[in-house]
Structure 1
Amino acid sequence: MYRVVLVDDERLIIRGLSTVIPWAELGCEIAGTAHDGVSGLELIRSIRPDIVLTDIRMPNMDGLTMLAAIRSEFPGIQMSVLTAYRDFEYARKAITLGVCRYLLKPSNLDELQEAVKLMVSRLDAMPQLPEDPDDESVKEAGNHLVKAALAYMKEHCTEQHLSLGEVADHVYVSQWHLSKLLNRETDQSFFDLLGSMRIAKAKKLLADPALRIHEIAEMAGFSDVAHFSRSFKKIAGCTPGEYRNHQM
């Protein structure tokens, strides 16, 4: 039996999906349900299901990033979307991230069963395949996650306590997985990337002669001037003061 996780913030939808689809006849069983994206991902990490049927328009959740997180971290999981969100470009992007079917609510039983049968057939074929049948979607998912992580880091880089864990939570993956993705896609670690972003911010601030070096250090996200100066020289090749003098 393939294990299935259902994720939807509408409890009525969860109950309906649990009862209307003949799961046992299709070789499946409901392994768990969740009512928001965060708890859904926690459940997926906990029980490692074979199939996920999920909505992507739930409160406090970036649906595409959640799909990318599942695809990147668990490439063998088969996913289908059941949503009321009618947007062609959004649906197209979901497909590139490895979604088997993008179904619109209300969806009839035939459409739902066809989606489940497709996911089951893909799972049945996997043992005979030398690798994941859609390596490209896994790569696309990784790219999506890295872009989302970098955008979040750029927006929050001046916050002194920004951590890998916070960014990983934002893109719905584990710290270990995000670290691996960042290294693979950028050839840099999280801390190297964060340092570069902070130094880029500091360079802009150094153009203002009214700001003192210790003020700039704090504004750029550094906890002390000594750390700021060491990091600046390592990345820019000169001290903050030398950089300022050269620019003026």
Structure 2
Amino acid sequence: MYKVMIVDDEDIIVNGLSRAMPWAQYHCEVIATASDGISAQAKIRELHPDILFTDICMPGADGLAMLAAVRSEFPAMQVTILSGYPDFEYAQKAIQLGVVRYVLKPSKFSELEAALAAMTENLRSLGTAEPEEVPSAAQNFILQNAMAYIGEHYAEKLTLTEVAEKVYVSQWHLSKLISKNTNQGFSDLLNGVRIHHAKELLRDPAMKIWEISEAVGFADVTHFSRIFKKVEGMSANEYRHRVLSIAISKSEEPALV
């Protein structure tokens, strides 16, 4: 039996879909439902459904980000989107992330059954084979969102767990994606972003090194100094002197007549 999960914030849709579909005919069984994306994520990780019918626009959740997370963490899972928004660009992005069908609400029963038939056929084709290849679009979507969040919050006490929660994946999965696509661990990636911003602040001679250290999120200046030298091959003061010397030299160049 294939395990099915239904996610929608409208009870009438969840109940109607649970009762009306000929699940047994397709060797399926509804094992769980959810009314919001966050609880859905927890149940998906716990129960590992084979098939997911889910709304993509629910309060408090980024539908596309959650879809990317599901497709990346569970590549063999078959997903059909239920949406009340006939937005072509949105639907196109969902398809790029690997959904089987994108069904508009109010949904016709024939469309839903056709989606179920397509998903079960895909599962039969997979059989005992290795899981499908993860769509690169899903991985890229997750990484872009993770980097955007780091770019906005690098100055805070940021953890891998926090970033993973914001992009709807487990910290283990995000760590794997970062390592695979950047050849770095999370700490090195975060430190790289912090040092990048520190270099900009070092151009201001009025700012002290410890102030810059705090401004970019380091807990203490000793740690900042060690990381800066590791990344740039010179101390923060040496970098500052070099940058300021270049700026002064340029300002003293004679103007062309």
Query: What CA deviation, in whole Å up to 9, does each residue of 1:46-80 have, x standing for no partner?
Result: 00111000011011211111111111111111000
Distance 1:9 1:176 in 2: 28
Q: 1:149 aligns with which of 134, 141, 146?
A: 146
TM-score by length of structure 2 reads 0.92
Which of the pair has more CA radius of gyration?
Answer: 2
Distance across 2 between alignment mates of 1:132 and 1:96: 18
Report deviation, 1:102: 0.3
Per mean C-alpha deviation after superposition, the further-off stretch among 24-33 and 107-116 is: 24-33
Matched with 2:32 is: 32
TM-score normalised to the size of structure 1? 0.95
Residue 163 (structure 1) shift: 0.2
| Equivalenced residues, count | 244
Provide the residue aligned with 1:218 in structure 2: 214
1:156 Cα deviation from its structure 2 partner: 0.7
Once residues 93 and 61 of structure 2 are traced to their aligned partners in structure 1, the CA distance between those partners, rounded to angstroms, is 16
RMSD: 1.2
Give yes or no for contact 1:72–1:142 (8 Å, CA) kept in 2.
Answer: yes
Quick one: distance in 1 between partners of 2:167 and 2:125? 30
Question: Which whole-Å CA distance do the structure 2 matches of 1:167 and 1:85 have between them?
Answer: 28
**For residues 186 and 145 of structure 1, what CA distance do their matches in structure 2 show?**
13
Q: Deviations over 1:170-212 (max 9, x none)?
A: 1111111110000101111111110000001111111112211
Aligned match of 2:236: 240
Deviations 1:120-170 (A, max 9, x none): 111111126x5445x2x53221121111111111111111x2000001111
8 Å CA contact 1:55–1:83 kept in 2: the answer is: yes
Alignment of 1:1-248 (within 5 A): 1-127=1-127, 130-133=129-132, 135=133, 138-159=135-156, 161-248=157-244
**How far apart in 1 are the matches of 2:69 and 2:135?**
10
Q: Please identify, of 109-118 and 12-21, the stretch whose mean Cα deviation from structure 2 is larger.
A: 12-21
